[in-house]
Amino acid sequence: MRQFIAVLVFAALLLGGVGCVASPVGQIGSDGGDERQETMQTQQPQQPQQRTLTFLFFSDTQPNPELMDYSSVGELLAQAASREKLPELVVFGGDTVDDGGCEEQWGKFGQAIGSSLDGILTAAVAGNHDSYALLAEQFDYPQTAPSSPGEGFFYTFSMGPVFFVMLDSNIMGAANERDIMWLENELQSESARQADWLVAVMHHPVWTVSDTPRDMRRSETLREHFLPILEENGVALILCGHQHIYTRTKPMRGDAVAHDGRGIVQIMAASGDKASYTMGERDFIAADHAAPNYLLISADSASISITAYDGEHRMIDQFAIQRYQ
């Protein structure tokens, strides 16, 4: 089993508190993606040629629903993608647009980001505002994107030292045996065993930060049925969204903080203009920030380094997860 420990590099700065007409929809990101098929399980990754990876993570890039203006998030994505060395991958944590079944909104999002993600692989998980069929068409996924109704939006892929497990938390609240077995099989696959790091991406949090009853019930199910599989197979990091506020947990095991640092860290990003949820009392939150934000993540065989930025590209949090013997 992989062994790792979270290491604080930089204390959080805590800046601040916290009608549909069909139109052509283009694909976002590299135009060299695989042909898509309507299928749930898609993992047939090639062995990575490199053992480093730099990628960006955005979630809930929806605009203010009263304005429906995607220009600010378009600028955020474009500037984030160009500030550092060109990232090899951009991951979206769901709810990219307010109505995922509306081609017009996807068109506006595509126009807002322009060509800023051209040449970069993109991937996304399904949020509660998403439509599976349209979501599968929007991004140039590293692997075939699933879109079969009723089967969920689950897939995996490898890049550099990281094996990504892309989960559909919309239906994980039902704790279907099929989904549980699929997760276990993927995390025990040869591709997962050869990776240095396992990262899970889902829309809803495993550990909520707001006292929303529906979200809390879902998170209890996730911790009961899916978290033990993530823990047993050495997942180090969970990336999520949904509650519209940046939060980083302390390393977690089950329902409690892993005081020895040997647990899973969950990061929730919120990149759009929608209002943040109200945070509840949580003793496991290490950092939080209420304004739009995104993550820059770099991984090699020894560590994963994560830096969070606000909408003005100012650093709000930074830390690393390192291996231990």
- Each domain of the chain, given as residue ranges in start order, spans 4-25+36-323
The phi and psi torsions of 233 (rounded to 5 degrees) equal -100, 5
Q: What is the pLDDT of residues 23-72, one digit of tens each?
A: 334 467 765 443 323 333 434 445 545 589 999 999 989 887 777 788 88
Place of tokens 């892929």: 157
- What does the alpha-carbon distance between residue 80 and residue 75 come to, in Å, rounded to a whole number? 8
- Classify residue 33 by its DSSP letter: P
Please state, in angstroms and as integers, the Cα–Cα distance from residue 33 to each residue in 27, 139, 190, 198, 218, following that order: 10, 9, 23, 22, 33
Q: What is the pLDDT of residues 257-275, one digit of tens each?
A: 999 999 999 999 999 887 6
Bridge partners, residue 268, by sequence: 240, 247
Please state, in angstroms and as integers, the Cα–Cα distance from residue 96 to each residue in 59, 62, 163, 217, 270, following that order: 7, 6, 23, 24, 10
Instruction: Please name the residue ranges forming H helices in 127-269.
Output: 132-138, 169-172, 177-187, 190-194, 213-221, 227-232
CB-based contact 183:226 (threshold 8 Å):
yes
- What does the alpha-carbon distance between residue 158 and residue 93 come to, in Å, rounded to a whole number? 17
Question: Taking the mean position of all CA atoms in its chain, how far away is CA 143?
Answer: 16
Which regions of the chain does DSSP assign to beta strands (E)? 4-10, 53-58, 89-92, 121-124, 155-159, 162-166, 197-201, 235-240, 246-249, 252-253, 256-257, 265-268, 285-289, 293-299, 303-310, 315-323
Output the furthest CA–CA distance in the chain (Å, rounded). 57
- What does the alpha-carbon distance between residue 253 and residue 275 come to, in Å, rounded to a whole number? 30
* pLDDT attached to residue 231: 97
- What does the alpha-carbon distance between residue 119 and residue 121 come to, in Å, rounded to a whole number? 7
The answer for residues whose C-beta is within 8 angstroms of residue 164's C-beta and 6 or more apart is 91, 123, 156, 157, 158, 199, 200, 201
**Other CB atoms within 10 A of residue 151 CB:** 19
CA angle 49, 40, 141 (to 5 degrees): 40
What is this structure's pTM? Answer: 0.86
To the question of domain 4-25+36-323 being in CATH 3.60.21.10, the answer is: yes
- What does the alpha-carbon distance between residue 218 and residue 158 come to, in Å, rounded to a whole number? 28
pLDDT along the chain (325 residues), means of 10: 65 43 51 37 47 94 80 89 83 92 92 89 92 88 69 91 95 92 95 96 94 89 96 97 93 94 95 75 90 94 95 94 78
